[in-house]
């Protein structure tokens, strides 16, 4: 799909933009190049530029408001990619644009088009896929739809930003060819085919063999490739706090430093222009880009209208049409990994269902970090299944906790249902006292400039006999006590930059257990913790108070779930990751499900042969039960309509037609890139061109389920494929008749892979070259036409610095997955 590269014909010309810039003083020009706040740019009333507002992100539009505000919460991007459906990506892009307008946001900081190079990467769920072609096409559809509505998209993070460990300092080292063919490929598609208006330079550095520099100041990347070669005419914004220099960043292609108002530009940039270190023309070019973006989003107006409030439309997350779209998206994204004996969909007359699992009761619907949004409501599986199976008796069982941390303290255990927070200055003098009601998330915000630390005090009353766990989790330098006894202490002072480093900003819990007998127990918890000055994010302190009351314990909870499964007609076990597992800010250290979920699945399946396992995770987890349990669904991080989507899948109201956008490993030791950890500050992309499934092919390893896999609820047969004739620079069409041989209407993702001719340059053994989605009723035939773009045949020739299609006979494989080939033909590329 290709859309107009330039969005509007009434966009100001370069000459008009130059004339506008000429009206600005040198100081005004520099001022607009650093944010005014965390999310906004300085207005320039002199030329009619109103405040431009940016908002995260990939799961929905959070907006900038400090007040509690809700946003339509989408399924995670990897779920969207699992639909392989560009039409659906467009629908969600249109929704995101409407949400942005409702929140007065001009640019949405999404989508992420980095690749899932390793399943352990913390932001895996925020990316579309491990495959460059699938990622690029989903992103083009999404970005085109957002921008069609006059809202900017910002693709991120440019480039090779595929790990979170030491994320602001490591360098990615990869060859120009690997960069071009793999990691730049989705960016190139979105710049070329969707004409994206903004791009975010990443935290990491890049060593492409010629230049080694932070991504925010990499000249070859930003100026030579992006701006000169690709002709990108939008704005290059830094990732938040990523800009490390004044002169290098300004000269080498960065346009906008975020957040502000502090930062390495401002007066230092003015001085660098005055001294000639940074040419005035470089600054002017940046300002023109910002003005061009402003004109595209309607922020460049008559100077008289350049200030004042803009009316926002109502956010839509609660509206019926939005809910229906999000529910369908999450249901269609669901991947059927196994369905023996037609267990799914469940019969409408199912009389007794045991719904089991911590994630069934409390589904994990979005990963952590900057993409986080608060949905207007959450559809829960138990409620939705109740509606979907009105005549069934449904019982719900947690089957054991899976979180390591205790929950926040409930009001019932706290004296007065609250904690007392005293603000202290550097000398320990009291400035102010606040009473904060429980449950409290541990944050103290809006702190005055003279507050140096906070003291948190709480009286805790534990009445219930049994074992209680208290946990106190502060950020930064602190001292915590329970009943006067030291619990933890640290002098490590956390500064603004540390916010980006998960090990510093995510509180670590310090734990003590108490055995309570009949008479109860009263305790005093007190903690003093430093104030973190997080620049434009504000000054804050954090001390989480957590409490785990006595419970039946995991043994008993599992036993109860197993008993319920035995009595039920069907057991539905929802296993998965949780907020302690998948997040921005850290990488995972293993692929295991947390808690005792493997044991839970095994024992439930032993108790009930009609067991359906539902995996609630964005990134791969080891799934050793896969071939022992009759049905397994991959349900992703499904967003606000979680419950409804699961009900639709289980009843078959919506076909789960997802196909894996990544490879599901059978064993951790098989994973081609087994960690995301820099070595001596460097991540060496030794896997080269063999990203994702290509790596599995290269190493000859068999995953649990391969890339592109997904059964749906029907069967499909394939006829003979035919390929058009290759012509330089032109797309080539592969057609194949397919037939739905199942008993219900269905969707099929027809995938086309290529294999290289003999004797050419080293290539992946097999790579995805195109795909399309077809629909057909039961017994119906459909014709699939898959377009292969020229890049699908080309390699980057490092010697000539150009794209070439190596000549010869290419194998064209028409397939249901990367390893389930249903037909084959060839294409000849002449020499
Ligand atoms: C993330 C970006 C995000 C930005 C603003 C950064 O930490 O890497 O993806 O858009 O914060 O929240």
Alpha-helical regions (H) of 659-801: 693-699
pLDDT band at 2 (very low <50, low <70, confident <90, very high): very low
Centre of ligand 1 to C-alpha 75, Å, is 19
pLDDT band at 302 (very low <50, low <70, confident <90, very high): low
- Whether residue 6 is predicted with pLDDT greater than 50 in this model: the reply is no
What pLDDT is stored for residue 308 in this prediction? 42
DSSP 468: E
| Residue-wise pLDDT tens digits, 113-158 | 999 999 999 999 999 999 999 999 999 999 999 999 999 999 999 9
Centre of ligand 1 to C-alpha 582, Å, is 16
Residue to mutate, 37, 56, 243, 371, ligand 1, most ligand atoms under 8 Å from C-beta: 56
For the CA of 57, the nearest atom of ligand 1 = 10
Per mean pLDDT, which of 497-506, 510-519, 578-587, 769-778 is the most reliable?
A: 769-778
- When pLDDT is averaged across residues 694-708 and rounded to a whole number, the result is 98
Q: Which of 445, 472, 468 is nearest to 458 (CA)?
A: 472
Residue nearest (by alpha carbon) to ligand 1 atom 9: 370
- Whether residue 309 is predicted with pLDDT greater than 60 in this model: the reply is no
Count of CB atoms situated within 10 Å of the CB of 467: 14
Could you name the CATH architecture of 411-548? Sandwich (2.60)
What pLDDT is stored for residue 306 in this prediction? 46
CB-defined site of ligand 1, < 6 Å: 56-57, 109, 156, 239-240, 370
| Residue-wise pLDDT tens digits, 160-194 | 999 999 999 999 999 999 999 999 999 999 999 99
Rounded to whole angstroms, how far apart are CA atoms 716 and 741? 5
Strand partners, 576: 616
Question: Dihedral angle at the C-alpha atoms of 814, 663, 338, 818, nearest 10 degrees?
Answer: 10
Rounded to whole angstroms, how far apart are CA atoms 159 and 364? 29
Measured CA distances, 195 to 86, 141, 606 (Å): 17, 11, 54
- When pLDDT is averaged across residues 466-490 and rounded to a whole number, the result is 95
Residues 6+ apart with CB under 8 A from 535: 241, 259, 262, 496
- Whether residue 311 is predicted with pLDDT greater than 60 in this model: the reply is no
Burial label, 137 (beta-carbon count in 10 A; 0-12, 13-18, 19+): buried
Residue nearest (by alpha carbon) to ligand 1 atom 3: 370
- Whether residue 463 is predicted with pLDDT greater than 70 in this model: the reply is yes
Q: Does domain 320-400+553-662 have CATH number 3.40.50.980?
A: no
| Residue-wise pLDDT tens digits, 432-441 | 999 999 999 9
- When pLDDT is averaged across residues 83-98 and rounded to a whole number, the result is 98
| Residue-wise pLDDT tens digits, 350-379 | 999 999 999 999 999 999 999 999 999 999
Q: Note the residue count of the chain.
A: 831
Residue extents of the structural domains in the chain: 14-62+74-299, 320-400+553-662, 411-548, 716-829
Q: What's the CATH superfamily of 716-829?
A: Immunoglobulins (2.60.40.10)
Rounded to whole angstroms, how far apart are CA atoms 227 and 410? 54
Contact call for residues 733 and 785 (beta carbons, < 8 A): yes
Take residue 655 and report the two structure tokens written for it: 């076909």
- Whether residue 14 is predicted with pLDDT greater than 80 in this model: the reply is yes
Contact call for residues 773 and 758 (beta carbons, < 8 A): no
Centre of ligand 1 to C-alpha 476, Å, is 22
Q: Which of 109, 43, 60 is nearest to 309 (CA)?
A: 43
Measured CA distances, 492 to 258, 600, 747 (Å): 27, 40, 56
Rounded to whole angstroms, how far apart are CA atoms 77 and 324? 18
pLDDT band at 69 (very low <50, low <70, confident <90, very high): confident
- Whether residue 101 is predicted with pLDDT greater than 80 in this model: the reply is yes
- When pLDDT is averaged across residues 808-812 and rounded to a whole number, the result is 98
| % of the chain residues with pLDDT over 90 | 91
Residue to mutate, 161, 167, 239, 368, ligand 1, most ligand atoms under 8 Å from C-beta: 239
Centre of ligand 1 to C-alpha 806, Å, is 39
Enumerate long-range contacts of 317-321, CB under 8 Å, 24 or more apart.
317/60, 317/70, 317/71, 317/72, 317/73, 317/99, 317/375, 317/376, 317/377, 317/640, 318/70, 318/376, 318/377
Preceding omega of 150 cis (within 30 degrees of 0): no
Q: Tell me which residue has tokens 């006894």.
A: 485
Residue nearest (by alpha carbon) to ligand 1 atom 6: 240
User: What is the rounded average pLDDT for all residues in the chain?
Assistant: 94
Residue to mutate, 35, 39, 54, 57, ligand 1, most ligand atoms under 8 Å from C-beta: 57
Q: Tell me which residue has tokens 């084959």.
A: 824
For the CA of 500, the nearest atom of ligand 1 = 7
| Residue-wise pLDDT tens digits, 330-345 | 999 999 999 999 999 9
pTM, two decimal places: 0.96
| Residue-wise pLDDT tens digits, 510-542 | 999 999 988 899 999 999 999 998 777 778 999
Catalytic residues: 239
Q: What is the CATH number of domain 14-62+74-299?
A: 3.20.20.300
- When pLDDT is averaged across residues 239-246 and rounded to a whole number, the result is 95
Centre of ligand 1 to C-alpha 202, Å, is 9
What are the counts of helices (DSSP H) followed by strands (DSSP E) for the chain? 19, 36
Measured CA distances, 619 to 372, 407, 431, 578, 706 (Å): 17, 24, 46, 11, 14
Residues 6+ apart with CB under 8 A from 677: 163, 165, 587, 683
pLDDT band at 66 (very low <50, low <70, confident <90, very high): low
């Amino acid at each position: 799909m290709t859309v107009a590269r330039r969005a509007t014909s009434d966009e100001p010309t370069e000459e008009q933009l130059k004339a506008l810039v000429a009206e600005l003083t040198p100081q005004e020009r520099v001022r607009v190049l650093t944010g005014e706040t965390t999310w906004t740019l300085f207005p320039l009333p002199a030329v009619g530029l109103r405040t431009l507002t940016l908002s995260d992100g990939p799961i929905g539009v959070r907006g900038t408001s400090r007040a509690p505000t809700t946003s339509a919460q989408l399924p995670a991007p990897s779920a969207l990619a699992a639909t392989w459906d560009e039409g659906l990506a467009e629908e969600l892009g249109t929704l995101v644009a409407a949400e942005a307008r409702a929140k007065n946001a001009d640019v949405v900081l999404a989508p992420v088009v980095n690749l899932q190079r390793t399943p352990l990467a913390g932001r895996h769920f925020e990316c579309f896929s491990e495959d460059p072609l699938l990622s690029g096409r989903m992103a083009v559809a999404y970005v085109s739809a957002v921008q069609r509505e006059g809202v900017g998209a910002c693709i991120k993070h440019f480039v090779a930003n595929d790990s979170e460990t030491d994320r602001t300092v490591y360098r990615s080292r990869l060859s120009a060819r690997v960069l071009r063919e793999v990691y730049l490929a989705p960016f190139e598609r979105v710049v070329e085919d969707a004409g994206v208006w903004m791009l975010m330079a990443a935290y990491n550095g890049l060593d492409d063999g010629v230049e080694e520099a932070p991504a925010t100041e990499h000249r070859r990347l930003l100026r030579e490739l992006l701006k000169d070669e690709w002709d990108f005419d939008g704005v290059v914004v830094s990732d938040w706090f990523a800009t490390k220099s004044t002169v290098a960043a300004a000269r080498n292609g960065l346009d906008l430093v975020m957040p502000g108002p502090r930062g390495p530009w401002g007066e230092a940039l003015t001085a660098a222009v005055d001294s000639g270190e940074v040419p005035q023309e470089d600054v002017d070019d940046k300002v023109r880009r910002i003005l061009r973006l402003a004109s595209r989003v309607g922020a460049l107006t008559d100077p008289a209208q350049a200030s004042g409030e803009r009316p926002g439309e109502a956010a839509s997350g609660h509206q019926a049409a939005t809910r229906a779209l999000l529910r369908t998206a999450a249901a269609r994204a669901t991947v059927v990994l196994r369905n023996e004996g037609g267990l799914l969909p469940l019969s409408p007359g199912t009389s007794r269902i045991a719904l089991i699992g911590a994630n069934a009761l409390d589904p994990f619907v979005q990963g952590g970090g900057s993409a986080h949004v608060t949905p207007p409501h959450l559809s829960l599986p138990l409620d939705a299944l109740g509606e979907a199976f009105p005549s069934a008796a449904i019982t719900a069982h947690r089957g054991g906790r899976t979180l390591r941390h205790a929950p926040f303290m409930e009001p019932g255990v706290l004296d007065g249902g609250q904690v007392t927070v005293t603000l202290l200055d550097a000398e320990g003098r009291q400035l102010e006292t606040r009473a904060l009601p429980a449950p409290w998330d541990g944050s103290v915000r809006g702190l005055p400039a003279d507050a140096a630390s906070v003291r948190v005090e709480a009286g805790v009353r534990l009445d219930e006999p049994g074992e209680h766990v208290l946990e106190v989790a502060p950020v930064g330098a602190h001292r915590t006590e329970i009943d006067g006894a030291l619990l933890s202490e640290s002098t490590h002072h956390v500064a603004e930059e540390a916010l980006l480093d998960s090990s510093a900003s995510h509180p670590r819990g310090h734990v003590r257990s108490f055995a309570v007998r009949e008479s109860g127990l009263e305790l005093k918890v007190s903690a003093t913790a430093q104030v973190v000055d997080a620049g434009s994010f504000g000054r804050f302190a954090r001390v989480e108070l957590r409490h785990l009351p006595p419970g039946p314990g995991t043994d008993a909870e599992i036993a109860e779930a197993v008993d319920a499964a035995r009595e039920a007609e069907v057991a539905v076990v929802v296993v998965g990751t949780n907020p302690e597992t998948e997040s921005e800010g850290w990488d995972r250290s293993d692929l295991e499900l947390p808690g005792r979920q493997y044991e839970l699945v095994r024992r439930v399946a032993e108790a009930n042969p009609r067991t359906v396992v539902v995996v609630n995770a964005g990134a791969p987890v080891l799934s050793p039960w896969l071939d022992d349990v009759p049905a397994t669904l991959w349900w992703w991080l499904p967003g606000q309509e979680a419950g409804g989507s699961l009900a639709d899948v289980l009843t078959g109201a919506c076909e789960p037609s997802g196909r894996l956008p990544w490879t599901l490993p059978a064993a951790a030791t098989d994973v081609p890139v087994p960690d995301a950890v820099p070595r001596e500050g460097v991540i060496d992309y030794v896997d080269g061109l063999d990203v994702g499934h290509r790596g599995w092919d290269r190493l000859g390893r068999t995953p649990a389920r391969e890339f592109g896999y997904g059964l749906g609820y029907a069967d499909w047969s394939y006829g003979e494929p035919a390929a058009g004739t290759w012509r330089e620079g032109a797309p080539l069409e592969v057609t194949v008749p397919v037939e739905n041989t199942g008993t219900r209407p269905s969707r099929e993702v027809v995938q086309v892979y290529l294999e290289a001719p003999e004797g050419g340059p080293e290539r992946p053994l097999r790579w995805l070259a195109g795909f399309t989605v077809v629909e057909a009723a039961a017994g119906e035939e459909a014709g699939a036409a898959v377009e292969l773009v020229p890049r699908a045949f080309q390699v980057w020739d490092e010697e000539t610095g150009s794209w070439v299609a190596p000549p010869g006979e290419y194998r064209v494989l028409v397939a249901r997955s990367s390893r389930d080939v249903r037909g084959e033909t060839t294409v000849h590329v002449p020499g």
